[in-house]
Amino acid sequence: MPIVTETGHKVFWLQIALCHKRTSVQGVVPKNHGESNKEVCKIIIEHTKYLADNNGLKRGYSWEDYDYVFEATFFNNHAAGRVLAAYGIAIQQINIDSDVHKAIGKWAKKNVKSSNNLNKGKWKYTNHHLNYARAIALYGSIWKDTKSLNKAKKVVLSIMKSITKEGALPLEAVRGVRGLYYQGRTLHGLFTTTDILYDAGIDLY
């Protein structure tokens, strides 16, 4: 049975590396590397299908429970970004049944939509919103949804415009001793989302 725990989603980082045909830790490509890639990609697709079949990663709180939903959307979007990134690579390596791909896409759309936090909170936009933007960008890129891509583009451009001439992100830099951490976290999300959009034909560089 596929791994579906939060820890399981972290395993996707390793699975992505293998599926993306990179070298081993020692820098040596094993003879059966291509075969192992395909096996890992099968696991990724199986994992994603399991989440889709069981409506995984969907927001479980009402918007009135703000303290809960703020964290729930953060973790859901964070996990969705990893799952969809891995899935997007896997389907480039091996064939997938079109009906299965369509069903996963239907789940992904509902999942991402349920964790839309862009209109929640006092500030626009922070690293929390970027998690959603990355997830919606991945969905739009994989399933060719222009509306989703444009929504992610709007968030990225808004954050880019907020950067000061000193290179600071005001909403993150003011967070006390954690300011530098959140600055880096947001810049990372900004660049990864911009890269996803670039691959989808939207060049913000």
Average pLDDT for 60-89: 77
Structure token digits, residue 42: 């099968």
Average pLDDT, the chain: 80
- Say whether pLDDT at 31 is over 80: no
CA distance 136 to 44: 19
pLDDT tens-digit series, residues 43-56: 899 989 999 998 88
- Say whether pLDDT at 105 is over 60: yes
* Contact by Cβ (8 Å): 19, 44: yes
Locate tokens 């020692």: which residue? Answer: 26
- Say whether pLDDT at 129 is over 70: yes
Can you give the pLDDT at residue 64?
67
Can you give the pLDDT at residue 15?
55
Can you give the pLDDT at residue 84?
93
Can you give the pLDDT at residue 59?
66
pLDDT tens-digit series, residues 172-197: 888 888 888 888 889 989 999 999 99
Spatial CB neighbours of 71, under 8 Å, sequence gap ≥ 6: none
Residues of the chain above pLDDT 90, percent? 38
Can you give the pLDDT at residue 203?
95
Can you give the pLDDT at residue 61?
63
CA distance 132 to 151: 10
Give whichever of 16-25, 119-128, 145-154 has the largest mean pLDDT. 145-154
Please state, in angstroms and as integers, the Cα–Cα distance from residue 35 to each residue in 24, 39, 115, 177, following that order.
14, 6, 36, 47
Residue 38's identity, in one-letter code, is K
